[in-house]
Structure 1
Amino acid sequence: MTAKPDARHYRALFLSDIHLGTRGCQAHLLLDFLRFNDAEVIYLVGDIVDGWRLRRSWHWPQLHNDVVQKLLRKARKGARVVYVPGNHDEFLRNYFGTHFGGVEVMETAVHETADGRRLLIIHGDEFDVVVRHAKWLAFFGDWAYVTALSLNTWFNLVRRKLGFRYWSLSAWAKLKVKNAVNFIGAFEDALIAESKRCGTDGVVCGHIHHAVIRKEDGHVYMNTGDWVESCTAIAEGHDGSFEIIRWADLRKDVVPAEDAEDGEETSQPVAA
């Protein structure tokens, strides 16, 4: 059995692209992450709930409800929780400036780091030309992505039976496609340009499911990744330093617990 990780407290945590309401959401790993990691402020950087998928077919297991309850519990215990909606949870864009259970819903946010830098917090779909100008194509791409994730689930089920750790077939395929790599580069450049236009020192975003911290011309670009493939988050330490937390790698032996009733006990480590 793998030992439990040490509990960590950060100045800020940034999460995005959880996609609650889809079968690909790795809610068990996110719950495990939230059990051991806390922060003064938690930014939910869009696509937390997948309204696109829920409109087509309802999928909301207890684990997904447990994630929501865990985040609300952190807000009740004093953490500031800021929700910046994305394109998959765009229904919440009708509620900018409101609070739900202590969670602030905002169009964008500006986070001030411990060392005085100002970071623009934005989901990023506004800079995806497919989402903006060809929504039908975005829906088709979403269907293709979900299909790839279904294959990924079966692929990793076989890997786990053979004693291998989780590995994202869909993420590997995406990064092998030249056009996808070019799109990621163009997306990053567009977000850095938006940060400069807004007069901030950098940007934290999501949307493209590719976690990275990149510096360019004195500006920093940070993408939180996702909780479907990579299970990553961005964290700011109390000294103003930033890191990518790759929870699937740190807790590769955590699998969903069967018939769990309590949100605190919905994942369990197993022998490698």
Structure 2
Amino acid sequence: MSNAAKSNKQHYPAIWISDVHLGYKDCKADYLLDFLNSVESDTLYLVGDIIDLWSMKRQFYWHSSHYQVLNSIQQKAANGTRVIYIPGNHDETFRNYVDQTLFGVEVHQQFIHTTKANKRFLLVHGDEFDIATRYNKLISIAGDAGYDFLLFLNRWINRIRKVFGGNYYSLAAWIKARIHKAREAIEAFEDAAIREAKKQKVDGIICGHIHHPKIKVDDGILYCNDGDWIESCTALVEQKDGKIELLHWSDTQTVLDSTDITKLAAPIVSSVEAKPKKTAA
């Protein structure tokens, strides 16, 4: 790659993506490819469910763009980006390779990332917190029949919106935000993640799994969920000053949430939760 091509890309110290679900028909690989081709980073974290082995076991599906995503990641590793992979439940087979390197990609069960602001973050996929959510089946997990139908509706809604010039819209996220038990499950998951971060004496936790992108501060812990590339098309990035931001790539690279972790100190008297920027419906 030429230096000119690299200079056109936004550079971050670290990037986090998860829940891509390559091999699943509703994977938004085109959005992810655009994102990967637009950014560079010192470290790229793959926080689980990158390949959906569960879905492919039921019905094999592999679009050429899914291969291109893997190729883009491998090329980044070959060109000097440190790529760290934390397998999830849908690609748990790769947990057999923990502490090994595959095609230039390091495989870990969990990992500690230290930001430019010298804050320590625990990185896990998040399925280990399912036991804390009595209603975890209501959380969007690719492969569930009801979830498949919801994404089917989502596809048609977005085809219609595209005709009229509308942006991508996540029907699944809208519904989850309005189902009481789904909100309960998400809150229980977040609470379990925060407890684990406190247990391991870190400043924050970064995870995926529940397809619900979010940044919030709770009891002195910064909780970050990087979302997914089925519903949300989101990624977490670290800025040069250590700030963590949540990007929504399907909405023309719009920053949804931003928390300045350089100002994070424990204990925090009141929790702060950033609100996503509203977009046209």
**TM-score, L = length of structure 1:** 0.85
SS at match of 2:106: strand
- Between the two proteins, the alignment pairs up a number of residues equal to 246
2:46 equivalent among 40, 44, 47: 44
Task: Provide the residue aligned with 1:171 in structure 2.
Answer: 173
- Which structure has the higher relative contact order (CA within 8 Å, separation 6+)? 1
Matched, 1:248 2:250: yes
Please tell me whether the aligned partners of residues 131 and 138 of structure 1 are also in contact (alpha carbons under 8 angstroms): no
Letter in 1 for 2:18: S
Q: How does 1:49-88 map to 2 (within 5 A)?
A: 49-88=51-90
Q: Which runs of 5+ in 2 are unaligned?
A: 1-7, 255-281
Q: 1:16 to 1:140 in 2, by over 3 A?
A: closer
- Structure 1 residue 132: Cα displacement: 10
Task: Provide the residue aligned with 2:129 in structure 1.
Answer: 127
Query: Structure 1, residues 19-44: CA drift from partner, whole Å, max 9, x if none?
Result: 10011100000000011111100100
Q: 1:177 to 1:131 in 2, by over 3 A?
A: closer
Q: How does 1:150-229 map to 2 (within 5 A)?
A: 150-229=152-231
Query: Structure 1, residues 85-130: CA drift from partner, whole Å, max 9, x if none?
Result: 1111111111111111100111000001111111000000110128
- Structure 1 residue 55: Cα displacement: 0.4
Q: 1:34 to 1:108 in 2, by over 3 A?
A: same
Please tell me whether the aligned partners of residues 132 and 192 of structure 2 are also in contact (alpha carbons under 8 angstroms): no
CA distance in 2, matches of 1:41, 1:29: 20
Q: Which runs of 4+ in 1 moved over 6 A?
A: 130-135, 137-141
Q: How does 1:96-135 map to 2 (within 5 A)?
A: 96-129=98-131
CA distance in 1, matches of 2:228, 2:97: 24
Q: 1:130 to 1:242 in 2, by over 3 A?
A: closer
Q: Which runs of 5+ in 1 are unaligned?
A: 1-5, 253-272
CA distance in 1, matches of 2:106, 2:201: 23
- Structure 1 residue 7: Cα displacement: 2.2
2:234 equivalent among 232, 235, 242: 232
Letter in 1 for 2:189: F
Please tell me whether the aligned partners of residues 13 and 42 of structure 2 are also in contact (alpha carbons under 8 angstroms): yes
Query: Structure 1, residues 217-257: CA drift from partner, whole Å, max 9, x if none?
Result: 221100000001110000001111110111111169xxxxx
**TM-score, L = length of structure 2:** 0.83
Please tell me whether the aligned partners of residues 126 and 132 of structure 1 are also in contact (alpha carbons under 8 angstroms): no
Letter in 2 for 1:243: E
- Structure 1 residue 160: Cα displacement: 1.1
SS at match of 2:216: strand
More off after superposition, 27-36 vs 144-153: 144-153
Q: 1:140 to 1:221 in 2, by over 3 A?
A: closer
Identity of aligned residues (%): 45
CA distance in 2, matches of 1:165, 1:201: 35
CA distance in 2, matches of 1:21, 1:148: 18
CA distance in 2, matches of 1:35, 1:117: 28
Q: 1:141 to 1:48 in 2, by over 3 A?
A: closer
Letter in 1 for 2:92: E
